[in-house]
Amino acid sequence: MESHTLRFLIREKLGDDRLPHNGIPHVWGGPGNGESCDACEETIPKSQMIIEGAGADGRGVQFHVMCFYVWDAERKVTGRESSEPDSRV
């Protein structure tokens, strides 16, 4: 997916709360297993790494590595990042 398209999609999902605004206190990663990326909605195959975590609200999310970094940057730009201690990534 093109970078500008991915950024737009993530901004849209942040805007309508389909992606969390606060950081994810604990993340883990490993090889994908056919999961769907919550940012770009594309499959994460075994040949790619997945980053998973749960937001402060307990909602689980999973991303391609690149999608995770774009989400993290975009959530900070929108000015919606919480100042609570659990807002770190």
Whether residue 4 contacts residue 40, with contact meaning beta carbons closer than 8 Å, is answered with no
Q: Looking at the 3D structure of the chain, how many domains does it have?
A: 1
Mean pLDDT, range 29-35, rounded to an integer: 96
For 42-85, write each residue's pLDDT tens digit.
999 999 999 999 977 788 999 999 999 999 999 998 555 444 44
The arithmetic mean of pLDDT across residues 26-44, rounded, is 96
pLDDT score at 78: 55
Q: Which domain holds residue 42?
A: 3-87
Residue 73: enclosing H or E segment and its boundaries? helix 65-77
